[in-house]
Structure 1
């Protein structure tokens, strides 16, 4: 291969790049290179062929198949391009299904369902000739002020790892390579600001931020990783040999391809100022371990070629990256692929897609509070409301159901007037369909953002005339200031945007029962709606993290009682912005104490979620002695003590009482969804390798130490309903070199119960 042919394999070309802002500083980085010139020696990636503009999928597929044939026949080496696309909430293409956002995946606590989701998305991508998906996001949430929280799964690294790895298995099971984002530390940015510096201690990085990535690499066999934009302790990750080679490849054995987040190689010059020019930036990135520059060749083409030609950059660095890229293309079957006929028909939103979207949305909805107003009836258990006031800026908005990386909010926002391209009923439409005989008064009340209060009196009047008022508030996802949450939409306050709180409080003051429904991409500080005086707070609060195309139907089913709510908070509901960053996995000093007047305690803890039935957990049993290299075996009984069927999330927590370094006051050891009929009881067994409680000691070695461990099961990390303890015995046991430990959970016996 000539140098030009090698470098061509290390870059992408953004075919449709224009004025739309769908990546950070994209306008400033736009290239004027003609496509024909850019592909004269071949090309490594085609960037977002379907996901940059609204193009008819089949028409674009015909173009893509023809273009792949051209690359095979009219370039010297005949190597097809690898096509990559965003796929965080579904394939980012016009008319493709839009699923719940990843924060909703976390709320569902259902890895098996997320694996099915990954397979459905992967199938659509494969049918359209897409080879690599830029998902999942494995950043551990630390600060809900950060705009990209809706792309994340949870504040718990084990939940992030198990659910993220399930998505990887699903996507790659359909022959599409997944890409882990954003390696590493991105979500720990100062003050929750996008692209801000990160100051992480080595131990916190090892124990909190690296484990999800390690699990997806070692257990999920992921084939691609994307670097983080951030700098950790002054070193940009895009130039960190320690992270991109030392940890990722040398320690974990990753043998896939590392791709740059968009423009991050050039950012080494323009935003981090550790490179004098693009050529030096290219060398730093290559040395660190970035194989492919995306979305285009700002640094890896001519700037890098010049340095290689004059001997400043060893060509061996280029050869190393090219070998990895060609190996990936061979693994995908691209080197021998035939592109004879483009697909003649494809359904990107078929019944299977919608069934998964509905199930995931239903399982992710969290009932945060309820005085008995919910369910609303009409489910055979009570009379349906005759008059419903449907209030709020998100009550009749399809966009409010979708996350930042949905095609509608990411791309179609630049093309007003174009239809979304698939069915996505709003909350108003879903409620009207569920209650066809009810008189529904729809009043917006206020916008998502802004200070206009003119609509609040009409909302109040509608509520006074109703049997129940559904007030739908929250976010509008978008990019870089276009919205209230999403990439680049970081905030200083965690109050509901605009005057939405005033709207809710005014409606509550009417005395009509109010159900506050929060459609959002981050948790907000809504303690005022949960812990106020009776009569001054909503009768019920429902949290739904951007639930996707079937989200409104799922909400209607939950509100009516057709389905029992079973979602749980994957992230703590914050007390205030001033209490951030926060993690339920904090050490003792990270919680409230007598020497500070500031209280970081969340208004509702990680794992919280109510039901329409009642679950009782009891009889936790564990062997009193466990070797430091052994297995922790725990059994617990959970009984549905209510009168209707439901699903409990059995949450097993642990606390290391005394250790050589400070440890969290609570750590999720395992979890299991258990569906139970009224009166039914299940015996649940957890088998957790001792390594699940390993940590980084003072010598920065990962170990299991002897000592006492307390256990509990309850309705959240703070609810110690049934408890036990055991003693780790034996020598300090080093952990490393194997796949991360996973707790196995299973129902071993069911007794009692009757059909609902």
Structure 2
């Protein structure tokens, strides 16, 4: 291969890039030249063929198949291009299904269902000739002010890792490579600002930020990783071999391909100033371990070629990257593909897509509070309210149901003349279908953003005439200043945007029972809505639940669906309490030596149901366990209410005395358990002691002997049934061979039905 042919294989080309802003500093960075010239020597990646503008999938597939044939027949080496797309909430393409956002995946606590979703996404992608998906996001949430919270799964690394790995398994089972984002440190930025420095220590990186990626590499077998834009303690990740080579490849044995986040190679010059020009930036990135520059070849083409020919960079770095990329193409079958028959029809939003979208939406919605007003049809249709005031800016909005990386909010927002291309009922439409005998009056009241209060009196008047008022408030997802949450939409305040709090409180003052529905991409500081005598009668939290989100919410409001979601992130007290995680040491919580209270309004794992559960008899099979081995924990869960429901059984631990400070609570395992009224289940957790591993004072990953407190409750803050175990023996150094992931099983009381977690959920 000539140098030009090598470089062509380690860059992408953004064929349809236009004026729509869908990536940071997009207009300033794309400099790859005309497509025909850029592909004269071949091409590594085609960037977002389907996902940059609304295109008919079948017609676009015809173009893609023809273009792949051209690359085979008209370039000297005849190597087709690898096609990548965004797929965080479903394939980001026109007419494709839009699933709940990742924060909703976390709220479901259901890795198996997330794996089902990812399999459907992968099937659609493979049918359209797409080979790599830029998902999942495995950043651990640290600060609710950060705009990209809705793209993340949870504030707990174990939940992020198990659910993220399930996504990887599902997508890759279809022959599409998943891409882990954003490795590493991106979500730990200062003040919750996008692209801000991360001033964090190596132990925090090791014990909190790396484990989800480690799970996806070791247990998910992920084939691609994307670097983070972040700089950690002054070292940009994209120029730091410690992360992209030493840890990823050396320690974990990753043998796939590392791709750059969009323009991040050029950012080494432009935003980090560790490179004098694009050529030096390219050399730094290649040396660090970034194999492919996306979305275009701003640095890896002419600037790098010039540097190599000047004797300033070693061509061996290019050879290493090219071999990795070619191995990936061979693994995907691209080197043998003839691209003769493009699809002539395709259903990107089939009944199977909608079924999974519905179930995941239903499982993800969290009932925060309920004084008894819900369910609205609690005693049957005759008891349902006759007149409902449906109020708020998100009450009749489809866009409010979708996240930042949905095609609708990411791309179609720039094409208002184009229909969505799939069905997504608003809550107003869904509630009318759910309660056909009720008179439902819809009043906006106020916008998501802005200071206009002129609509509030009409909302108040309608509430005064109603039996119940449902007020639907929250976010509008977008990018870089368009919207209230999403990439580049960071917040200085965690108050509801605009005058939405005033709208809720004005309706609440009428005396009509009020149900607040929060449709958001981040948790907001809504202590006024969940606590105190003046709080609304009930509050539902929905994190952008997708195309079936409105029927799911309507079903929970009516009582047809039992709420089962749990908070994957603590409900914050204020913006001033950020960053916050329930995984804090003693000094990270409230104390008598500070007047600032960071106790969340509602804790991680909280979520109500329409029934009640009793958790009893937590026992450990053996009181001691050798460091490096596993121990078995059992408890009984009983549905003590009058309705069927789902409990999310959460097992927590605290290492009481350790050589470095440890969290006051740590999730060891979780399991969804469905029970009929009066039903009882025995839940068993097989817990590897490596789940309690940490980085010691010498920066070794170890399991340390000592006493461990265990408990199960309705959240991390509730110790309903407790036990203890003592880890014994010498310190155990953790290796890649250690089992670190909890296995659970449920045995019904009758002993007839025996259920085990899907393998993906078990070993994730």
TM norm. shorter chain > 0.5: yes
Instruction: Give the aligned partner of residue 610 of structure 1.
Output: 608
Q: Take 1:3 and 1:521, find their aligned partners in 2: how far apart are those partners?
A: 45
Instruction: Give the aligned partner of residue 762 of structure 2.
Output: none
Instruction: Give the aligned partner of residue 196 of structure 1.
Output: 196
1:715 aligns with 2:714: yes
Is the partner of 1:389 in helix, strand or coil? strand
Instruction: Give the aligned partner of residue 555 of structure 2.
Output: 557
Q: Alpha-carbon deviation of 1:382?
A: 5.5
1:621-664 deviation per Cα after TM superposition (whole angstroms, max 9, x unaligned)? 01211111221210000000000100000000000000000000
1:80-122 deviation per Cα after TM superposition (whole angstroms, max 9, x unaligned)? 0000000000000000000000000000000000000110000
Instruction: Give the aligned partner of residue 755 of structure 2.
Output: none
Instruction: Give the aligned partner of residue 592 of structure 1.
Output: 590
Q: Alpha-carbon deviation of 1:692?
A: 0.6
Instruction: Give the aligned partner of residue 23 of structure 1.
Output: 23
1:341 aligns with 2:341: yes
Q: Alpha-carbon deviation of 1:307?
A: 1.0
Q: Alpha-carbon deviation of 1:751?
A: 4.4
Instruction: Give the aligned partner of residue 706 of structure 1.
Output: 705
Q: Take 1:747 and 1:437, find their aligned partners in 2: how far apart are those partners?
A: 41
Aligned residue runs from structure 1 range 453-464, under 5 A:
453-464=453-464
Instruction: Give the aligned partner of residue 485 of structure 1.
Output: 485
Contact 1:211 1:740 in 2 (8 A): no
Q: Take 2:62 and 2:337, find their aligned partners in 1: how far apart are those partners?
A: 16
Q: Take 2:177 and 2:730, find their aligned partners in 1: how far apart are those partners?
A: 41
Is the partner of 1:62 in helix, strand or coil? helix
Instruction: Give the aligned partner of residue 420 of structure 1.
Output: 420
Instruction: Give the aligned partner of residue 210 of structure 1.
Output: 210
Q: Take 1:714 and 1:391, find their aligned partners in 2: how far apart are those partners?
A: 35
Aligned residue runs from structure 1 range 579-728, under 5 A:
579-622=577-620, 623-728=622-727
Q: Report the aligned-residue RMSD.
A: 1.2
Q: Alpha-carbon deviation of 1:40?
A: 0.4
Is the partner of 1:79 in helix, strand or coil? coil
Instruction: Give the aligned partner of residue 113 of structure 2.
Output: 113
Contact 1:215 1:740 in 2 (8 A): no
Instruction: Give the aligned partner of residue 280 of structure 1.
Output: 280
Instruction: Give the aligned partner of residue 744 of structure 1.
Output: 743
Q: Take 1:610 and 1:153, find their aligned partners in 2: how far apart are those partners?
A: 20
TM-aligned CA distance change 1:500 to 1:49, over 3 Å: same
Contact 2:13 2:32 in 1 (8 A): no
| Equivalences, count | 752
Contact 2:32 2:38 in 1 (8 A): no
Aligned residue runs from structure 1 range 35-184, under 5 A:
35-184=35-184
Q: Alpha-carbon deviation of 1:36?
A: 0.5
Is the partner of 1:311 in helix, strand or coil? coil
Q: Take 2:738 and 2:177, find their aligned partners in 1: how far apart are those partners?
A: 20
Q: Take 2:412 and 2:633, find their aligned partners in 1: how far apart are those partners?
A: 50
TM-aligned CA distance change 1:379 to 1:479, over 3 Å: farther
Q: Take 2:85 and 2:447, find their aligned partners in 1: how far apart are those partners?
A: 32
Match of 1:541 among 533, 539, 542: 539
TM-aligned CA distance change 1:16 to 1:273, over 3 Å: same
Contact 2:138 2:161 in 1 (8 A): yes
Q: Take 2:607 and 2:89, find their aligned partners in 1: how far apart are those partners?
A: 23
Contact 1:144 1:192 in 2 (8 A): yes
1:317-358 deviation per Cα after TM superposition (whole angstroms, max 9, x unaligned)? 000000000000000000001211110110000000000000
Instruction: Give the aligned partner of residue 225 of structure 2.
Output: 225
Q: Take 2:19 and 2:320, find their aligned partners in 1: how far apart are those partners?
A: 35
Contact 1:681 1:751 in 2 (8 A): no
Contact 1:61 1:342 in 2 (8 A): yes
Instruction: Give the aligned partner of residue 525 of structure 2.
Output: 525
Aligned residue runs from structure 1 range 397-408, under 5 A:
397-408=397-408
Q: Take 1:752 and 1:361, find their aligned partners in 2: how far apart are those partners?
A: 31
Unmatched segments (≥5 aa) in structure 2: 753-764
Q: Alpha-carbon deviation of 1:31?
A: 2.5
Aligned residue runs from structure 1 range 563-582, under 5 A:
563-582=561-580
Contact 1:679 1:752 in 2 (8 A): no
Contact 1:225 1:258 in 2 (8 A): yes
TM-aligned CA distance change 1:9 to 1:379, over 3 Å: farther
Is the partner of 2:749 in helix, strand or coil? strand
Q: Take 1:325 and 1:516, find their aligned partners in 2: how far apart are those partners?
A: 50
Q: Alpha-carbon deviation of 1:300?
A: 0.1
Q: Take 2:195 and 2:500, find their aligned partners in 1: how far apart are those partners?
A: 29
TM-score between both structures, scaled by the size of structure 1: 0.99
Q: Take 1:205 and 1:407, find their aligned partners in 2: how far apart are those partners?
A: 32
Unmatched segments (≥5 aa) in structure 1: none
Q: Take 2:535 and 2:191, find their aligned partners in 1: how far apart are those partners?
A: 30
Q: Alpha-carbon deviation of 1:748?
A: 2.4
TM-score between both structures, scaled by the size of structure 2: 0.98
Is the partner of 1:478 in helix, strand or coil? coil
Q: Take 2:65 and 2:497, find their aligned partners in 1: how far apart are those partners?
A: 45
Q: Take 2:659 and 2:405, find their aligned partners in 1: how far apart are those partners?
A: 42
Single out whichever of 159-168 and 373-382 deviates more from structure 2: 373-382
Q: Take 1:203 and 1:609, find their aligned partners in 2: how far apart are those partners?
A: 31
Q: Take 1:5 and 1:137, find their aligned partners in 2: how far apart are those partners?
A: 32
Instruction: Give the aligned partner of residue 759 of structure 2.
Output: none
1:373-423 deviation per Cα after TM superposition (whole angstroms, max 9, x unaligned)? 000007737611110000000000000000000000000010112110000
1:16-69 deviation per Cα after TM superposition (whole angstroms, max 9, x unaligned)? 001000000001113361111010000000000000000111110000000000
Contact 1:527 1:603 in 2 (8 A): yes
Instruction: Give the aligned partner of residue 447 of structure 2.
Output: 447
Instruction: Give the aligned partner of residue 497 of structure 2.
Output: 497
Q: Alpha-carbon deviation of 1:552?
A: 0.1
Q: Take 2:378 and 2:347, find their aligned partners in 1: how far apart are those partners?
A: 35
Contact 2:570 2:602 in 1 (8 A): yes
Q: Take 2:328 and 2:683, find their aligned partners in 1: how far apart are those partners?
A: 42
Q: Take 1:72 and 1:599, find their aligned partners in 2: how far apart are those partners?
A: 63
Contact 1:680 1:752 in 2 (8 A): no
Q: Alpha-carbon deviation of 1:749?
A: 3.3
